């Protein structure tokens, strides 16, 4: 089977986007439901239960996390800049922005580890009531997603340095970007409902 024949029906029926992008969006739909289970349980346990909930700022360090939020948003911007560079075929800027993104993501995870160590040191554990349970489960799984993202992003960056992505072939960058922004988006929600409310 020739590639031309395979490509012919790529664009005929279908969603009008290429496979990997559609696949990633479909996967993200699934991720929405995963976080719905975790965040939904948090909402149910916190707002449905009669027991009082500790004020988050008395337990958690809001300024540090606000800074961390800022770092993650910045890495989202650098990601989208990398994508724009890839589309334009600008190899130098592509590599630069990807590197910035990887560093941003790694920093976020690092700060989270620091935050966890600090909290555990202060005896705030997953077993510390419903707040501890939900806090560590939600932020932990978000952190896990960021870590996975950093690993994949590192791989994409290495590929970029090898010159894999061109003006014609930027799909890898776009698809990992979608995942990255999604993880950012989840954090935006988590930061608000876990730390601020």
Partner 1 sequence: MESTEHKHPNYMAVWAVLFVMTVIEVGVAMLSHIPRALLVLVLLGLAIWKAVLVAMYFMHLKFEPRRLLFVVLAPLPLAVILVVIVLQEFPG
Partner 2 sequence: MTTAAVHHEAAAGGHHELSFVRKYIFSTDHKIIGIQFLFMSLFFLLVGGLLAMMMRWQLGYPGKAVPGGGVLPETMASGGVILPEFYNSLVTMHGTFMVFFAIMPLLVGVYGNYLIPLKIGAPDMAFPRINMASFWIAFGAGIIMLAGFFATGGHAAAGWTSYAPLSARSDLSGVHMGQVLWLVGLIVLGLSSILGSMNYITTVVNLRAPGMTWFRLPLSIWALFITAILVLLAMPVLSGALIMLLFDQTLGTHFFDVSAGGQPLMWQHLFWFFGHPEVYILILPAMGIVSDIIANGSRKPIFGYHSMVFAIGAIAFLGWIVWGHHMFQSGMNPMLGTSFMISTMVIAVPSAIKTFNWMGTLWRGNIHFHTPMLNALAFVSMFVIGGLSGIFMASTPVDIFQHDTYFIVAHIHYVLFGGSLFAIFGAIYFWYPKMFGRMMSERLGKVHFVLTFVFYNLTFFPMHFLGMTGHMRRIYDPTQYEFLRPYQGTNRLITVGAFLLLASQLPFIWNFFWSLRKGAKAPLNPWRDNGLEWTVPSPPPHGNFATTPTVHHGPYEYSSPLTTDDYLPQNQEVRP
Q: Which residues bind partner 1 (CB under 8 A)?
A: 15-17, 22, 25-26, 28-30, 32-33, 36, 40, 43-44, 47-50, 57, 62-63, 66, 69-70, 73-74, 76-77, 79-81, 84, 87, 167, 170, 177-178, 181-182, 184-185, 188-189, 191-193, 195-197
- Tell me whether residue 65 is exposed, middle or buried, using C-beta atoms within 10 angstroms of its C-beta: 0 to 12, 13 to 18, 19 or more: buried
Structure tokens of 59? 């337990």
Which residues touch 133 (CB under 8 Å, ≥6 apart)?
126, 127
Which residues touch 121 (CB under 8 Å, ≥6 apart)?
none
To the nearest whole angstrom, how small is the minimum distance from the Cβ of residue 93 to partner 2? 21
To the nearest whole angstrom, how small is the minimum distance from the Cβ of residue 122 to partner 1? 21
Give the separation between CA 63 and CA 165, rounded to whole angstroms.
38
Contacts with partner 2, residue ranges (CB under 8 A): 1, 3-10, 12-15, 18-20, 22-23, 26-27, 29-31, 33-38, 41, 44-45, 48-51, 125-127, 129-130, 132-134, 136-137, 141, 168-169, 171
To the nearest whole angstrom, how small is the minimum distance from the Cβ of residue 141 to partner 1? 16
Give the separation between CA 195 and CA 55, rounded to whole angstroms.
9
To the nearest whole angstrom, how small is the minimum distance from the Cβ of residue 23 to partner 2? 4
């Amino acid at each position: 089977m020739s590639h031309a024949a395979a490509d012919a029906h790529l664009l005929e029926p279908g969603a009008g986007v290429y496979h990997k992008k559609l696949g990633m969006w479909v996967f993200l739909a699934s991720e929405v439901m995963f976080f719905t289970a975790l965040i939904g349980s948090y909402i149910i346990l916190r707002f449905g239960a009669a027991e009082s909930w500790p004020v988050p700022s008395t337990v958690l360090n809001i300024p540090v996390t606000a800074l961390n939020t800022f770092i993650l948003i910045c890495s989202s911007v650098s990601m989208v800049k990398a994508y724009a560079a890839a589309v334009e075929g600008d190899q130098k800027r592509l590599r630069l922005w990807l590197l910035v993104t990887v560093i941003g993501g790694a920093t976020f995870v690092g700060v989270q580890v620091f935050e966890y160590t600090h909290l555990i040191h202060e005896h705030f554990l997953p077993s510390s009531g419903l707040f501890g349970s939900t806090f560590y489960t939600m932020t932990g799984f978000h952190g896990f997603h960021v870590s996975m993202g950093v690993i994949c992003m590192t791989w994409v960056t290495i590929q970029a340095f090898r010159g894999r992505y061109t003006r014609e072939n930027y799909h890898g960058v776009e698809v990992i970007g979608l995942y990255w922004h999604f993880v950012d988006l989840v954090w935006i929600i988590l930061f608000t409902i876990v730390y601020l409310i």
